[in-house]
Amino acid sequence: MTNPFLVVHRAVWRRVNQVVRDARSQAPAARMVGEFAVKQVAKEANKNLRKATEKKDSTGI
């Protein structure tokens, strides 16, 4: 007769391993999305900084 706790333990272990495998396979894509987001934020910040300095230069302050 099979121990019911052993069956549950194996099922949980399989599920945890599956979640870890899935997370590892998605990590490169998530990193790329994160890098894209950082680049976009930096681009917007630089654009806003350029606008602010251009306005400051044009007003003669």
* Alpha carbon distance 6, 47 (integer Å): 60
Note the pLDDT tens digit of each residue in 6-35: 999 999 999 999 999 998 888 888 888 889
Note the pLDDT tens digit of each residue in 30-61: 888 889 999 999 999 999 989 888 877 766 55
Cα–Cα distances (Å) from 60 to 21, 46, 48, 57, in that order, read 59, 21, 19, 5
List the domain boundaries for the chain.
2-56
Q: What does the pLDDT read at residue 59? A: 65
* Alpha carbon distance 8, 16 (integer Å): 12
End-to-end Cα, the chain, rounded Å: 86
* Alpha carbon distance 30, 27 (integer Å): 5
